[in-house]
Amino acid sequence: MEISLDRILTDLENVIQFNKTPQNGCTRFSYSKEDRMARDYLMTKMNELGMSIKVDGIGNIRAKFCEGLQTPSIMIGSHIDTVENGGKYDGLIGVLAALETIRVLKEEKVELDQPIELIIFAEEEGSNFGVTMLGSKVLTGKLTLEQLKSIKNETGLSVYEVCKNFGLNVDAVEAEQISKNEVDSMIELHIEQGAVLENEKKSIGIVQAIAGMKTFKVTLEGDSNHAGTTPMNLRADPMVGASKVITHIQNAAKTLALPTTVATVGKIFCEPNMANVIPKKVEFFIDIRDVELEGIEAVVNHLTEIVRVATKENSLKSHIELIGKSNSVKLSSRIINLIVEAAIASDSNYMKMNSGAVHDSAMMADVTDVGMIFIPSIRGKSHSPEEFSTLEDIKAGCNLLLKTVKSLASKKIYKY
């Protein structure tokens, strides 16, 4: 019993046509016309399989196969939205693997004890509002209706207004929150978005934990003045202070924390941002991640101290603001063991690993038992037009999802 790679590739090519930037990667934001077309295509395929489809007020699509079974469902799926100029595999390949899994189970007439539920989470990437995993956060009760009215996009429209304009019954989101007795387990197949599997020459990653994170905005203020006439000993230069903090944060992640700790400064603003002017203000953002809270806190503690030192040495004012955080998540040992058993039975070339990127699965972990399957991203590329996974790895990952789902949900034992 195997998936059809040809069908998956046909679906992939059809969905990636719904793209705002066809000459520069894939751009398909949630609640856009491209998103609408992708949803319509996929729901047509679900209807062809006789699935029962519901779309909630935030835009999550939940479609059940064998809905008549009065048992909690096995949930599979991912997301179809992208970042701007992103890749064609991130999220989407997990949705298509889930769709193909249900096709095969139906074709093979596998007797099921539990319904299979395909989920497509809305706004995973946070491209519209800067809030990642919006759909799964709303589904699991981590965001309220009132909060949706206050979270806004760059044009000033709130989540509430955007969902209303998209034709969604957003007022119902709190009544539609998922309960623990609805879902037996969830498995998400996803590209790794890193280079670990490729470097280790593995075709499958079985995820044990998803990293937690803290994001800080650091603001340093000094005294803006002429670059040529202000002596070095009379300067209060926030860029000098920022450079010291940034360098020390990188060293802290490497030497003072854990082997699994990472820290990144990827966004910086300078005011007035002129070549011949000492800056008045510098803002930069620090992203700290680890599967262990100890690693994150080691960097946070160093951040506090080094900002204090840089502020004093350069006669600056400083402010550190925590602007986002998520807890690390240990995935279900029950589901991990089932995936491992299926991988061994399939002679899969696999390894256990952690995820440095956050996923909707992390939001679902306090509702049900969660597992994740990774397939390699060539050269570790993701969120870019260069994102690529080989056909062999896609097939291996999709077949592993199929076999794991079947072992969870079926009565009969089939020989593969």
Specify whether 191 is located in the same domain as 274.
no
With respect to residue 246, please indicate whether it lies within any of the assigned structural domains: yes
Bridge-based pairing of strands 73-79 and 116-121 is parallel
Nearest to 71 by CA among 209, 182, 215: 182
For residue 331, count other CB atoms closer than 10 A to its CB.
25
Specify whether 146 is located in the same domain as 202.
yes
Specify whether 202 is located in the same domain as 234.
no
The number of domains in the chain is 2
Span 105-127, average pLDDT: 95
With respect to residue 190, please indicate whether it lies within any of the assigned structural domains: yes
In angstroms, the Cα distances linking 59 to 31, 69, 111, 177, 220 are 8, 25, 31, 12, 40
Specify whether 55 is located in the same domain as 124.
yes
Give the pLDDT score at 414: 38
Specify whether 245 is located in the same domain as 97.
no
How many helices (H) and strands (E) the chain has is answered by: 12, 15
**CATH code for position 321:** 3.30.70.360
Half-sphere exposure of 234 (CA within 13 A, CB side): 8
β-sheet bridge partners, residue 186: 75, 370
Nearest to 81 by CA among 44, 34, 23, 14: 34
pLDDT exceeds cutoff 60 at 412 = no
pLDDT exceeds cutoff 90 at 326 = no
Biggest alpha carbon–alpha carbon distance for the chain? 83
Structure tokens given for 370? 């969660």
Distance from chain centroid for Cα 211: 11
Instruction: Evaluate the CA torsion angle 8, 9, 12, 13 in order and state its sign.
Output: negative
Give the pLDDT score at 416: 31
In angstroms, the Cα distances linking 354 to 85, 94, 184, 291, 325 are 26, 18, 23, 8, 18
As a whole number of angstroms, the distance between CA 65 and CA 57 comes to: 21
pLDDT tens digits along 259-272? 999 999 999 999 99
Specify whether 77 is located in the same domain as 202.
yes
Give the pLDDT score at 415: 37
Mean pLDDT of the chain: 95
Q: Are 371 and 336 in contact (CB under 8 A)?
A: yes
With respect to residue 414, please indicate whether it lies within any of the assigned structural domains: no
As a whole number of angstroms, the distance between CA 76 and CA 95 comes to: 8
Specify whether 307 is located in the same domain as 339.
no
Give the pLDDT score at 411: 57
Give the pLDDT score at 1: 87
- Last residue of one domain, picked from the residues 302, 326, 350: 326
As a whole number of angstroms, the distance between CA 362 and CA 208 comes to: 11
Structure tokens given for 384? 């870019």
pLDDT band at residue 67 using 50, 70 and 90 as cut-offs: confident
Q: Which structural domain range is residue 86 located in? A: 5-210+328-409
Sequence-distant (6+) residues with CB within 8 A of 279 are: 222, 224, 237, 238, 239, 270, 271, 272, 273
Amino acid identity of residue 206, one-letter, is: I
Give the pLDDT score at 228: 97
Specify whether 220 is located in the same domain as 314.
yes
Give the pLDDT score at 227: 97
pTM score, whole prediction:
0.88
As a whole number of angstroms, the distance between CA 136 and CA 272 comes to: 39
Distance from chain centroid for Cα 243: 30
As a whole number of angstroms, the distance between CA 153 and CA 155 comes to: 5
DSSP state of 172: G
Sequence-distant (6+) residues with CB within 8 A of 268 are: 242, 282, 283, 284, 285
pLDDT tens digits along 215-260? 999 999 999 999 999 999 999 999 999 999 999 999 999 999 999 9
pLDDT exceeds cutoff 80 at 109 = yes
- Last residue of one domain, picked from the residues 307, 326, 345: 326
Give the pLDDT score at 410: 79
Instruction: Evaluate the CA torsion angle 349, 354, 355, 359 in order and state its sign.
Output: positive
With respect to residue 415, please indicate whether it lies within any of the assigned structural domains: no
End-to-end CA distance of the chain: 6
Give the pLDDT score at 297: 96
pLDDT tens digits along 23-37? 999 999 999 999 999
With respect to residue 376, please indicate whether it lies within any of the assigned structural domains: yes
With respect to residue 106, please indicate whether it lies within any of the assigned structural domains: yes
Specify whether 293 is located in the same domain as 170.
no
Give the pLDDT score at 413: 41
SS3 53: strand
pLDDT tens digits along 183-210? 999 999 999 999 999 999 999 999 999 9
With respect to residue 416, please indicate whether it lies within any of the assigned structural domains: no
Give the pLDDT score at 327: 87
* 119-123, 355-359, 385-389: range with lowest mean pLDDT: 355-359
Specify whether 22 is located in the same domain as 151.
yes
Span 353-381, average pLDDT: 95
**CATH code for position 141:** 3.40.630.10
Specify whether 87 is located in the same domain as 193.
yes
Instruction: Evaluate the CA torsion angle 306, 311, 312, 313 in order and state its sign.
Output: positive
- Exposure string of 387-403, with b = 16+ CB inside 10 Å and e = fewer, is bbbeeebbbbbbbbbbb
Specify whether 179 is located in the same domain as 231.
no
With respect to residue 158, please indicate whether it lies within any of the assigned structural domains: yes
- Last residue of one domain, picked from the residues 301, 326, 351: 326
Half-sphere exposure of 29 (CA within 13 A, CB side): 15
Q: Are 287 and 326 in contact (CB under 8 A)?
A: no
